[in-house]
Amino acid sequence: MSTSDTYYIPHKATWPIIGTVGLVIMLAGFANYLNGSSIGPTMMVLGLLVFIVMLTGWFTLQSGESESGMYSTQVGISYRMGMMWFIFSEIMFFAVFFGTLWYTRNLSVPWLGGEGTGAATKELLWPAFEAAWPTNGPGKVGGEFESMGAWGLPFLNTLILLTSGVSCTWAHHGLLAKNRDQLIKGLAATVGLGLLFVTFQAIEYHEAYTDMGLTLGSGIYGSTFFMLTGFHGFHVCVGAIILGVVLFRSWKGHFQPENHFAFEAAAWYWHFVDVVWLGLFVFVYVI
């Protein structure tokens, strides 16, 4: 990098403090709600609104700065590193729940069933319990339930997400080749597929709750199933919103082959969400 290149250092940032206040109101509201206090929901909505205003304002500011050419290559590298390590932190977050699934299936449920040094404990505490998967534990917490099969909607959803990964890359090629039409179509397809995925997942959840007796309260199977797929579904929603913003900016004529950090960040995030799903499909549904 030559020394004539410049590094933009912003001054006087107001959005961070606004975002912080919004986040605190939202979380304090949620905590109040959980404690049964009636002002909880109001605070949550209020905090969320402030938070959304912050996101809109901050991103508008950034995209304006980007389009007016204030970000050098070196600034772009900082942003890319930021996104990369943010995604790494998300990977670690999901790793907790995958680890939980692994630990309960391979260690703690067999121990409850008397494996290893657990034989006496089993005889004394839960003599009738046979270790198996899926399970809602020796206490049959949450009552009878059916486990979720892999080859219906979940398999369809796998195909949908994989296709969306392709359409996202296709859009990127369009951007690099200065083909705006391809960029917009590719992004629109990706967002559409993302929304389709979420819709199918909503249908799946509805079936689980109404027909299969499978809920978040269905012992350790229900807990891990809904925690993993739920957090993933939430990330799909966030990814789709990010891609939607990128789509909107593309439509307004933003992004150049040499300057499109926001697109890249959104695409990385989307691929990350995609890969997590593959892990889920294998470990939660198939095996």
The one-letter amino acid code at 286 reads: V
Torsion of CA 59, 31, 214, 148, to 10 degrees: 30
- Cα 205 to the center of its chain, rounded Å: 17
Please say which residue, 99 or 152, places its beta carbon nearer to another protein. 99
Cβ pair 210, 192 in contact under 8 A: no
Please say which residue, 61 or 184, places its beta carbon nearer to another protein. 61
CB of 178 to another protein, least distance (A): 27
**If binding is defined by CB under 8 A, does position 34 make contact with another protein?**
yes
CB of 18 to another protein, least distance (A): 10
Residue 256 dihedral angles phi and psi, to the nearest 5°: -125, 160
CB of 94 to another protein, least distance (A): 8
Please say which residue, 14 or 199, places its beta carbon nearer to another protein. 14
Structure tokens at 51: 């938070």
For helices 40-67 and 261-280, angle between their N-to-C axes, nearest 10 degrees: 130
Give the one residue of 217, 234, 248, 252 binding another protein; rule: CB under 8 A.
217
Residues 47-76 that bind another protein (CB under 8 A): 58, 70, 72, 74
How far, in Å, CA of 270 to CA of 280, rounded? 15
Residues 149-168 that bind another protein (CB under 8 A): none
Tally of CB atoms within 10 A around 152: 13
Please say which residue, 110 or 192, places its beta carbon nearer to another protein. 110
How far, in Å, CA of 133 to CA of 285, rounded? 12
Residues 114-143 that bind another protein (CB under 8 A): 116-117, 135-139, 141-142
Give the one residue of 27, 45, 159, 177 binding another protein; rule: CB under 8 A.
27
Please say which residue, 72 or 259, places its beta carbon nearer to another protein. 72
Residues 77-116 that bind another protein (CB under 8 A): 77-79, 81-82, 85-86, 88-90, 92-93, 95-97, 99-100, 103-104, 107-109, 111-112, 116
Please say which residue, 27 or 52, places its beta carbon nearer to another protein. 27
- Give, in degrees to the nearest 5, the angle at Cα 284 between 282 and 285: 70
CB of 82 to another protein, least distance (A): 5
Strand partners, 256: 259
**If binding is defined by CB under 8 A, does position 23 make contact with another protein?**
yes
**Dihedral of alpha carbons 195, 89, 83, 173, sign:** negative
Q: Could you tell me which residues come within 8 angstroms of residue 86 by beta carbon, excluding any fewer than 6 positions away? A: none
Tell me the window of 190-198, 223-231, 248-256, 270-278 that interacts with another protein (CB under 8 A): 223-231
